[in-house]
Structure 1
Amino acid sequence: MRPLGKTRRTVRTTRGSGRVAAAVCGAALAVLTALPAQAHPQRPATPHWDLKDTGAASVRFRGLAAVDRDTAWVAGTQGTVLRTADGGGSWRNVSPPGAADLQFRDIEAFDARRAVVLAIGEGEASRVYRTEDGGTTWTEAFRNTDSRAFYDCMTFFDRRHGLAMSDPVDGRFRILSTSDAGRSWNVLPDEGMPAALTGEAGFAASGQCLVASGAKDVWLATGGAARARVLHSSDRGLTWTATDAPIPAGDPARGVFALAFRDRTHGLAVGGDYRADQPSPRAAATTGDGGRTWRPAGTPPPAYRSGVAWLPHSRTAALAVGPTGTDLTTDAGRTWRTLDTGSYDTVDCTPDLGCWAAGEQGRVARLES
């Protein structure tokens, strides 16, 4: 969607057993849900974002792929891609050569060595790059040659199968598909895609306007039209159904900006109006039936939110982020409360509770307690 300069997740590996990860996450969730309980007589046990020094203050990172608590990839303006393997203590600039004029808005990583990054924009500005060696070398896997297409975000079902989405072309959202881990991409037929509404498009705000859960289910978030909608496919993007979402719409700056599903049925939607001088009174919604119906949050975040992620190993806890802060829900999205007032655009969590956030002025942080 043009107003944002044009506005998952992936299968990941983790260290340690699932039992250990679950114990770690359970302990952290207990801290989150007990705010502001004291873990020490003089020190509140309040979770917080621990800012990491990326050395990239001029870059806005809207693309984020967290692999685990130690490893994360971020992608942003000026064709920038960074990677850390030590929890954010140091960052390696692994930007693809010759990409300084591109805007990266989404990145999906399978581990510390393999990642796929999406550049957004009209025509040939929309591209996909892939690395298998931690960003030492990159291969251009796709370059859009249709001036009508504008790719916003992508998602992977597993290590091989993934999709990317473009704003409508000839009245329908365009879907790009890969079955070889991003090495090659093909446009899917659009017969199974519902017609787009007038002015409808996606927001390339956080890499979360297209998200997958399980082997075949994928959801697409929209805005810019008279109604905000969420589209769902259960066959890897071949056929879709559309449902209205109770999030502000009716303007090019309003709609659903990000989605998160913890399984095939339970999902969260966040968004609103991204303009700083405009209110977003209904910035979140929930679904318990795979997106067939959506209900507004009883107590939504206080402002526009562009990213959302479930806490791992939890059926009820999630984080939402935006330029004015981070919010926490502990009741599966029905109510939200502010946790932090720092500016972030996107958020991602891993099974070992490696929750990361990224945003403007080179900001990248990891959740600590």
Structure 2
Amino acid sequence: MRPMRALVRKMSFAGMCGAVVAVALAAPGTARATAGGPAWRLTPTGSEARFRGLAAVDRSVAWLAGSGGAVLRTTDGGGTWRNVAPAGAAGLEFRDIEAFDARRAVVLAIGEGDASRVYATSDGGRTWTLGFRNDEPKAFYDCMTFFDSRHGLAMSDPVDGRFRLIATGDGGRSWRVLPSAGMPPALEGEAGFAASGQCLVSHGSRDVWLATGGGSRSRVFQSRDRGLTWTVADTPLPSSPSQGVFALAFRDSRHGIAVGGDYRPGEPSPTAAATTGDGGRTWQAARRPPAEYRSGVAYSGPAALAVGPTGSDGTLTGGRTWTRFDTGGFDTVDCASGGACWAAGEKGRAARLVFTRAG
């Protein structure tokens, strides 16, 4: 969707961490970092890129993907970041990255025509394989997800009236276009938002969801067979060229969260979150959503985090009610096992979630 592209361009909290988050989020607060609770600890990257792609591997390892062809990796908890971008990528806009460990990662570049590409590395970014270069002029790829280290999908805005999916079975080294017969028709103007790498997400070995906006309704598509056939459901989030569902997160095959709103600065987003308890067949507006637009969301055990340009919120109610705990801006968030959560955004901002003590 051209107007949208022009403007956007396009915890597992386990054990002690879960207990700390539960106590912190039980009390309201809008300070930059709530005393005695979760807080973002910035980890200087030395970059001015805007990082909308993020892959949290664990407390030590994370990968970032951003503007100007930037791909960064840390293996020491953010103490140092190394630029490991593919050679010749300076003109690309990386918006999503999926990583499986400190050595293996797959990164997605967005854009018109052959600017949409996918690269894969198995040696920590020393070398990259160009696994996919788009040759369909109507396609514009937004997001990517993996079921395991070999099988994954990437999605494009509609081509000939239907969202387009490509699939890999070898860790991103090669891709094929999936048949579109099982995809419901797109609405006029409907598209995905390449804002946080979370408009296409998966859980388990076969379930995958696709988030949209831009049309007359914001919707979530759902597939139980790795993208071959799909159903679609409306959500209560508003939809327009600047509104819709920007990000999804699923705790299991049934319970999920959608966040979004209106990304334009200063515009209200009164319905910025919704939840599902039936795998995405129906969606309900959050009773107390984040107060403003949110572009990224991640589950971490029983808790979840949502981030956006104006702050970060947490929930312990499956997304029905949210509490702000930070006012710094981020575009995307991701959590690995053991309570390892990371966030990233503009001007090279990257941070790791820590827990402060009261007093």
Match of 1:51 among 42, 67, 76: 42
- Which position in structure 2 is the counterpart of 1:197? 187
Is it true that 1:341 corresponds to 2:330 in the alignment? Answer: no
- Give the deviation of 1:183 after TM superposition: 1.1
For the residue of structure 2 that corresponds to 1:201, the secondary structure is: coil
Give the deviation of 1:341 after TM superposition: 0.6
Q: Hey, what's the Cα distance between the residues in 2 that align with 1:105 and 1:229? A: 21
1:254-288 CA distances to partner (integer Å, 9 max, x unpaired)? 00000000100000000001000311110000000
Q: Is the 8 A contact 2:311 2:327 kept in 1?
A: yes
Q: Tell me the amino acid that sits aligned with residue 315 of structure 2.
A: T
Name the aligned partner's letter for residue 20 of structure 2. Answer: A
Corresponding position: 1:22 with 2:14: yes
The answer to whether the 8 A contact 1:4-1:203 is kept is no
Deviation at 1:28, TM superposition (A): 3.5
Distance change (3 Å), C-alpha of 1:31 and 1:113? farther
Give yes or no for contact 1:3–1:253 (8 Å, CA) kept in 2: no
- Cα deviations by residue, 1:315-368 (Å, 9 ceiling, x for unpaired): xx2110000000111111111111111000000011111110000010000111
Q: SS at the partner of 1:78?
A: helix
Q: Which runs of 5+ in 2 are unaligned?
A: none
- Do the aligned residues in 1 keep the contact of 2:25 with 2:314 (CA within 8 Å)? no
**Matched ranges for 1:63-102 at <5 A:** 63-102=53-92
Equivalent residue, structure 1, for 2:114: 124
Question: Counterpart amino acid of 1:321?
Answer: V
* Distance in 2 of aligned mates of 1:226 and 1:55: 41
Q: Which has the higher contact order (CA 8 A, sep 6+)?
A: 2
Q: Aligned equivalents of 1:161 and 1:94: distance in 2?
A: 23
> What is the match of residue 327 of structure 1?
313
Match for residue 9 of structure 2 among 1, 6, 10: 6
SS of 2:24's equivalent in the other structure is helix
The Cα of 1:22 is off from its aligned counterpart by 3.4
Pair 1:265 & 2:251 matched: no
Tell me what 1:289 maps to.
Answer: 278
Q: Which amino acid aligns with 1:301?
A: P
Find the partner of 1:112 among 96, 102, 110: 102
Question: Is the partner of 2:274 in helix, strand or coil?
Answer: strand
Q: Distance in 2 between matches of 1:350 and 1:101?
A: 30
Displacement, 1:238?
Answer: 0.3
Using the TM superposition, give the Cα deviation of residue 208 of structure 1 relative to its aligned residue in structure 2, in angstroms: 0.1
**Aligned residues of 1:36 and 1:45 also touching (Cα < 8 A):** no
Deviations 1:149-200 (A, max 9, x none): 0000000011111000000000000000011111110000000000000000
Q: Is the 8 Å Cα contact of residues 36 and 46 (structure 1) preserved in structure 2?
A: no
Matched residue of 1:352: which SS?
A: helix
**Structure-2 separation of matches of 1:303 and 1:3:** 22
Distance 1:135 1:253 in 2: 34
Aligned pairs (5 A) from 1:136-147 = 136-147=126-137
> Counterpart in 2 of 1:367?
353
Asked whether 1:354 is paired with 2:343, we answer no
Following superposition, the deviation at residue 36 of structure 1 comes to 7.5
Distance of 2:319 and 2:81 partners within structure 1: 33
Query: Residues of 2 paired with 1:277 and 1:126: CA distance?
Result: 31
- Provide the rounded CA distance (Å) in 2 between the counterparts of 1:352 and 1:63: 21
Aligned residue among 202, 214, 217 for 2:207: 217
Matching residue of 1:226: 216
| TM-score, length basis structure 2 | 0.94
User: 2:87, 2:151 → 1: CA distance?
Assistant: 26
Amino acid paired to 1:359? G
How far does residue 299 in structure 1 lie from its aligned partner after superposition? 0.7
Amino acid in structure 1 at the alignment position of 2:14: A
TM-score, scaled relative to structure 1: 0.91
- What is the rounded CA distance, in whole Å, between the counterparts of 2:294 and 2:28 in structure 1? 23
1:34 is displaced (CA, Å) by 4.7
Query: CA–CA distance in 1 between the matches of 2:131 and 2:250?
Result: 28
Structure 1: distance between partners of 2:175 and 2:21 = 39
3-state SS of 2:17 partner:
helix
Secondary structure in 2 aligned to 1:124? helix
Structure 1, unaligned runs of 5 or more: 8-17, 38-42
User: Whole-Å Cα distance in 1 between the matches of residues 96 and 35 of structure 2?
Assistant: 35
* In structure 1, distance between residues paired with 2:73 and 2:199: 23
State how far apart, in whole Å, the 1-side matches of 2:98 and 2:204 are. Answer: 16
Letter matched to residue 153 of structure 1: C
State the distance in 1 between where 2:28 and 2:193 align. 35
CA separation in 2, counterparts of 1:122 and 1:328?
A: 35
Q: Is the 8 A contact 1:4 1:205 kept in 2?
A: no
Q: CA deviation at 1:24?
A: 4.0
Of the candidates 287, 300, 311, which is equivalent to residue 298 of structure 1? Answer: 287
Q: Percent identity?
A: 68
Q: Between Structure 1 and Structure 2, how many residues are aligned?
A: 347
